[in-house]
Structure 1
Amino acid sequence: MNTSQNAAFQTLANLSGRRQFLQQSGMGLGATALGSIVARANANEAKSIDKQATDLKAGELEGLHFPAKAKRVIFLFMAGAPSQMDLFDYKPELAKQFKQPLPPSVSNGQRVTAMTRGTKQIIAPSMFEFSRHGENGIHLSELLPHLGTVIDDICLIRSTHTDAINHDPGKTLFCTGSEIPGKASLGSWLSYGLGRMNENLPDFIVLNSAFWSGDKANIQALYSRLWGSGYLPSKHQGVSFQPSGDPVLFLSNPEGVNRESRQKMLDLVTDLNRQHMQQIGDPEILTTIAQQEMAFRMQASVPELTDLSQETEDTLAMYGPEVHKSGSFARNCLMARRMVERDVRFVQLFHRGWDHHSHLPKKIRGQAYDVDQPCAALIRDLRQRGMLDDTLVVFAGEFGRTTYCQGKLTHKDYGRDHHPRCFTTWMAGGGVKGGITHGVTDDFSYNVVENPVHVRDFNATILHQLGIDHERLTFPFLGLDQRLTGVEEAHVIHDILA
């Protein structure tokens, strides 16, 4: 526990202990003595409250553990698990094994889902053509022509693997560092450790795509715990922006209430909350005060943030035609650039619809259409504005897809089951080397054979690029110093860092 954590917990302990003592034994004390004690306690507590409220924007870290290469993160999360074989992991030799059973020496008795347990596990090579891109000739699927134009800014991590084999625990593990719900999310950890850079906007914002062109029938739910603060103070949870209406719920004043009236109401509520804090010493009251004040400032800052009228036609065209649809992935990518431009520290985009157990070739075309041009535009836009060097862009789903088929299999139709053993993620900007690949899978895109990268390593590397040692950013809870990467071993991927 660091010095500021010790101070905060000691303050709460002192407040709680003193209040309990006065409440339990006050009837036996003289009224004069009791009044004197309470007066002094309240005066000291008021000073402490004022200082804590002033420090709310600061992070808990007293200083970075090492120089940061990135100031901000944009996390593009592909919920449902994209097929690495059909997008990033080129396996030309598999064409010769079309409809052949996967050798037992490859699967090696590894766990599979109930959906394909007991099946023959027939090999389904990708039907899509791959071609080389960039200075190093990195192979990408024909589904990603735009991403190929910026591949020299991207590091493909083909050896990512995870523990989870189903969607809920898989997404929870990637976003919070644990398959068990209730832990703090990555964005919340950064908010907690580093504080916010913009006093008029949240330091952690979530955007969920409302339009997609791929699989509209098989969409898993998203849950607020994926951007929740868990055991951290609630002021660190992500703020979800809506695709229609007010970007943030209840942002607009009710009819008949103007901004001046709202300010007077807020001042009164703040005074009452401060009095309540003096009485019970609950730090969450400080969070309430800070969040209410933030909400008031956001009434002015959010409309400016979401107004795209000042964007040039060239910029809008770069993100593609879907940018004009409110809530589309393309529009959210442009919004993410505007957010980090205004020093929002962590922006997380969720794009669902990647769960392709059947008819994958048709469905993945729509998904790739949704994300290919906007992802490339985001990287190019950041680079043109001089922001890519200190903005880390990451792309990942919760796991990968099997090399064997699920359901119907023809040359142009097949599905794939969940596959945690290997999948592809990527990073760009923020001090990461571009135009390279990291890690190798076997000839079946089934097992990692070189430079494995666990989800914990992925998250540890993100923290590292922001100047944080993942083992030293902790929070005491249930008798354990909790951390994003848990108690398991995790390593920063130094080979991909510039």
Structure 2
Amino acid sequence: MLSQFITQHSSFLISRRDALRSAGAGFGYLALAGLLGANAPRLASGSEPPSVNPGPLAPKESHFPAKAKRVIFLFMQGCISQMDTWEYKPKLQASDGQVGPGGGTLTASKFKFAQHGETGTWVSELFPNLAKQVDKFCFLRGLHTDTPAHPQAVIQLHTGAAIASLTRPSMGAWLTYGLGTENQDLPGYITINPPPNFGGAVNYGSAFLPAHYQGTKINDQGYVPNLKATTASDLQRRQLDLLQSMNKDLARDPAAPTELDGVIESYELAFKMQGKVPELLDISQEPQHVLDAYGVKPGPAGSFARQCLMARRLSEAGVRFVEICQPGWDHHNNLHKGLINGCAMTDQPSAALLADLEQRGLLEDTLVIYGSEFGRLPTSQGVDGRDHNITGYTMWLAGAGVKKGFSYGATDDVGIHAVDGRMHTNDFHATLLAFLGLDHEKLTYKYAGRNFRLTDVAGQVVKEIFA
């Protein structure tokens, strides 16, 4: 923390660069967690920044009127089996034990499906609570991606590129770069319990974008590393003022590295976060009926419920992009029991999140995404499992701007290949940006001599799913 810097250098007879190097040890995490860098070279629209810089995370104008202001991504890491949850395939049920079109033994779902809502949408018995919300959903049933390996597929879902010599910015970083955030006391992008493997920090990183667009990592207990204050507030303020004064001389030099100014900016935001974030992440302040609705409980069994409630609180406070994660869906074996356990942990909290957002008037401008990096095959693997499927799988959207009670695309009769409304990961990203008023071909950043974008050189907006 900054107090360590003061203690170690009580004479203050050191250079500005040395001061920053020493002080940076305390807030270094925050600088790397979406807060570093005070000056983006250009706004997302491509215009020059104003002469008085409002700050890198200040709200920015979208390219066209937006349907959504913010995003909550419910990431089911490991690939949930769509034919046991959201994809009812009568032919698959009738073809149990037969050889599939691509080989392997077709295996019917062990779970009962029933129709729900005014739309009569088929939903597995595994999701009794989400089934009640099904008329809000827009299903994407023709998704496909490029690689069946988890690490590459997870990275592609989050950054648009599966395998590349250059690490790409995450979709949350692109959104924050394009739009800024509505609360200058908080990061624009927060990820809760991100998976430590399958790309790790790459999935919420900013890569070559300025580092303040990177995601800030927290856990489901509301812990933010290195955020807790160890020095009295007034002394911290004096320390920050000292560093700011040491910054002035070099800041006048046009050749001064903006990264140093970014460190100072990160200290300022961290100073503000110390007062606001702990209270914001303290879900014990919620009324008991809200905690009960989400199914909040202590221990690992209540992790996803805590994440969902924290996501609502963060979104309500103005965070632009919140991702929460539930691992454990990689069911190459023990599929039946694994789905029962996983769905029981996520069904009630996910449904409560949608109901809570709607009740608070937030769902009309919040886009909720639910899905995995790819899907699973209708054929059996081993005694009780299903292998990966990248050629046809399902996700759903709800909230701002989506066509309610609607399905776009379809797989074949047994659920192997997307045959209608095919939607690649690049198309998914282009469509996501469009919901927030961003043109994926214009949201670019020049690096290493070329303009980069989330969708690389591909991507089509699927206009059919817009309300």
TM-score tier (shorter): 0.7 to 0.9
Give CA-to-partner distance per residue, 1:70-119, whole Å, 9 cap, x none.
1110011111111111111111222332222212xxx3xxxxxxxxxxxx
Change (3 A) 1:180 1:292: farther
What is residue 173 of structure 1 aligned with on the other side?
A: 156
Change (3 A) 1:495 1:296: same
Q: Identity of counterpart residues, as a percentage?
A: 42
1:470 aligns with 2:440: yes
- Bigger share in helix: 1
State the alpha-carbon separation in 1 of the partners of residues 463 and 77 from structure 2.
Answer: 27
Alignment of structure 1 residues 283-322 onto 2, 5 Å? 283-322=258-297
Unaligned runs of 5+ in 1: 9-46, 108-119, 211-218, 409-413
What is residue 133 of structure 1 aligned with on the other side?
A: 116
Cα deviation for residue 396 of structure 1 reads 1.5
State the alpha-carbon separation in 2 of the partners of residues 169 and 471 from structure 1.
Answer: 24
1:261 to 225, 230, 235: 235
State the alpha-carbon separation in 1 of the partners of residues 194 and 345 from structure 2.
Answer: 10
Counterpart amino acid of residue 162 in structure 2: E
State the alpha-carbon separation in 2 of the partners of residues 316 and 335 from structure 1.
Answer: 11
What is residue 55 of structure 2 aligned with on the other side?
A: 55
Cα deviation for residue 345 of structure 1 reads 0.7
State the alpha-carbon separation in 2 of the partners of residues 125 and 300 from structure 1.
Answer: 53
Q: Contact between 1:185 and 1:226, CA under 8 Å: does it hold in 2?
A: yes
Q: Contact between 1:324 and 1:331, CA under 8 Å: does it hold in 2?
A: no
Cα deviation for residue 308 of structure 1 reads 2.3
Cα deviation for residue 434 of structure 1 reads 1.4
Counterpart amino acid of residue 173 in structure 2: S
Q: Contact between 1:56 and 1:290, CA under 8 Å: does it hold in 2?
A: no
1:370 aligns with 2:355: no
What is residue 493 of structure 1 aligned with on the other side?
A: 462
Q: Contact between 2:444 and 2:451, CA under 8 Å: does it hold in 1?
A: yes
Counterpart amino acid of residue 90 in structure 1: Y
Counterpart amino acid of residue 263 in structure 2: T
2:178 to 193, 210, 214: 193
Structural RMSD (CA): 2.2
1:146 to 116, 121, 129: 129
Counterpart amino acid of residue 271 in structure 2: F
Unaligned runs of 5+ in 2: 1-40
What is residue 209 of structure 2 aligned with on the other side?
A: 232
State the alpha-carbon separation in 2 of the partners of residues 5 and 89 from structure 1.
Answer: 42
What is residue 243 of structure 1 aligned with on the other side?
A: 220
1:449 aligns with 2:419: yes
Q: Contact between 2:58 and 2:184, CA under 8 Å: does it hold in 1?
A: no
Change (3 A) 1:305 1:354: same
Counterpart amino acid of residue 90 in structure 2: P
Change (3 A) 1:156 1:332: same
Cα deviation for residue 269 of structure 1 reads 2.2
Give CA-to-partner distance per residue, 1:264-294, whole Å, 9 cap, x none.
1122223334444445521222322221111
1:351 to 318, 326, 329: 326
Counterpart amino acid of residue 437 in structure 2: G
State the alpha-carbon separation in 1 of the partners of residues 93 and 220 from structure 2.
Answer: 42
Change (3 A) 1:73 1:139: same
Indicate the SS of the match to 2:381: strand
Change (3 A) 1:220 1:353: farther
Give CA-to-partner distance per residue, 1:373-416, whole Å, 9 cap, x none.
111111100000111000000111000001111112xxxxx211
State the alpha-carbon separation in 1 of the partners of residues 138 and 47 from structure 2.
Answer: 40
1:484 to 450, 454, 458: 454
Q: Contact between 1:323 and 1:331, CA under 8 Å: does it hold in 2?
A: no
Counterpart amino acid of residue 400 in structure 2: G
Instruction: Return the index of the structure with the highest Cα Rg.
Output: 1
State the alpha-carbon separation in 2 of the partners of residues 313 and 58 from structure 1.
Answer: 35
Report the TM-score when normalising by structure 1.
Answer: 0.80
State the alpha-carbon separation in 2 of the partners of residues 327 and 365 from structure 1.
Answer: 15
What is residue 13 of structure 1 aligned with on the other side?
A: none
Cα deviation for residue 187 of structure 1 reads 0.8
What is residue 91 of structure 1 aligned with on the other side?
A: 89
State the alpha-carbon separation in 1 of the partners of residues 216 and 210 from structure 2.
Answer: 14
State the alpha-carbon separation in 2 of the partners of residues 94 and 322 from structure 1.
Answer: 38
Indicate the SS of the match to 2:441: coil
What is residue 102 of structure 1 aligned with on the other side?
A: 100
Indicate the SS of the match to 1:225: helix
1:335 aligns with 2:310: yes
Q: Contact between 2:57 and 2:188, CA under 8 Å: does it hold in 1?
A: no
What is residue 367 of structure 2 aligned with on the other side?
A: 392
Worse-superposed segment, 151-160 or 386-395: 151-160
State the alpha-carbon separation in 2 of the partners of residues 155 and 309 from structure 1.
Answer: 33
Worse-superposed segment, 454-463 or 317-326: 317-326
2:246 to 247, 252, 272: 272
Give CA-to-partner distance per residue, 1:178-235, whole Å, 9 cap, x none.
113610011111111111210111110000179xxxxxxxx95560110000110001
Counterpart amino acid of residue 226 in structure 2: F
Worse-superposed segment, 71-80 or 306-315: 306-315
Q: Contact between 1:123 and 1:403, CA under 8 Å: does it hold in 2?
A: yes
State the alpha-carbon separation in 2 of the partners of residues 354 and 325 from structure 1.
Answer: 16
What is residue 79 of structure 1 aligned with on the other side?
A: 77
Report the TM-score when normalising by structure 2.
Answer: 0.86
Alignment of structure 1 residues 421-436 onto 2, 5 Å? 421-436=391-406
Aligned residues: 423
Change (3 A) 1:326 1:99: closer
State the alpha-carbon separation in 2 of the partners of residues 167 and 278 from structure 1.
Answer: 48
Cα deviation for residue 57 of structure 1 reads 2.9
Cα deviation for residue 327 of structure 1 reads 7.1
Q: Contact between 1:323 and 1:330, CA under 8 Å: does it hold in 2?
A: no
